[in-house]
Amino acid sequence: MKLFTHKVAVITGAGSGIGRALAQQLSTEGALLALSDVNKEGLEETKANLKGTGKVILTTLDVADRGAFEQYAKDTITEFGQVDMLFNNAGVALAQTVENCSYEDFEWLMNINFWGVVYGTKSFLPHMLTRPEAAIVNISSIFGIIALPTQSQYNATKFAVRGFTESLRQEVKDSNLYVGCVHPGGIKTNIVVNGRMHASMLGEQTHAQQIEEFNKMARTTPTEAAHTILNGVRKNKRRILIGQDAKFMDRVQRLFPEKYTSIFGALLKLAR
């Protein structure tokens, strides 16, 4: 898909971060937008900052609610008459050890990060396969490629998104549908703000201090991330890595598939 003019794009998690930046860039390129988020105020702020003139509809949506997502897909297709692009972008974070993580927290994370992608994909897929050209873009993470301590739950969701997306791509390879998987490194978004960071994982830091530390380490802006994603769609890239940190970690993992954890552990100690 080279041009986005007059395409209808569905973006989850559009109330901030990468979702908002995707909406802004697609709007300037003439796309029509169906934007959703659990944060109504964030959605309205996103819409207020769009510079395009195409139609925009806002929907408060919990992507973990399968019935709501299925209805959202029906309503969106009815409203626009078509959907050409789907960005399964909504996501949250969690930091905890396997031993201490509650099932409640694990299920909360999995329901949003993984099942939200599945619900979105399955709800729109039959329609999108009828379009002359279409794109499904699922947001994984560099943590869908490497694994680190206290990130087992987050790793599980993002590895699952990667596997689901790569399998889907093979299933539809002879169709009109492009399927891409995105692996961002550190992006300056609200994912830590909205995440569940337990006191045992914070050490002597407050949540506010952890947010500040994350923002210092996150070198890539949402605008840069959106630009990279859309360029990846244009080029039919199967795996879209965002940020020099993601590219570096991916390269180390490929070169040292069994030793990369020790390498990153040493680097993390030095950084601290």
**Measured distance CA(83)–CA(72) in Å, rounded:** 12
Q: Confirm if 1 and 27 have CB atoms less than 8 A apart.
A: no
With CA atoms as reference, report the closest residue to 94 among 82, 107, 83: 107
**Measured distance CA(173)–CA(15) in Å, rounded:** 32
**Tokens standing for 223?**
């605008």
Q: 154 an active-site residue?
A: yes
Selecting among 72, 103, 119, 154, the annotated active-site residue is 154
Report DSSP state, residue 27. H
With CA atoms as reference, report the closest residue to 165 among 146, 180, 184: 180
* Angle between the N-to-C axes of helices 115-128 and 66-80, in degrees from 0 to 180, rounded to the nearest 10: 30
Q: How far is CA 131 from CA 81, 84, 134, 218, in A?
A: 11, 7, 6, 37
Q: Confirm if 246 and 184 have CB atoms less than 8 A apart.
A: yes
Show which residues are catalytic: 154
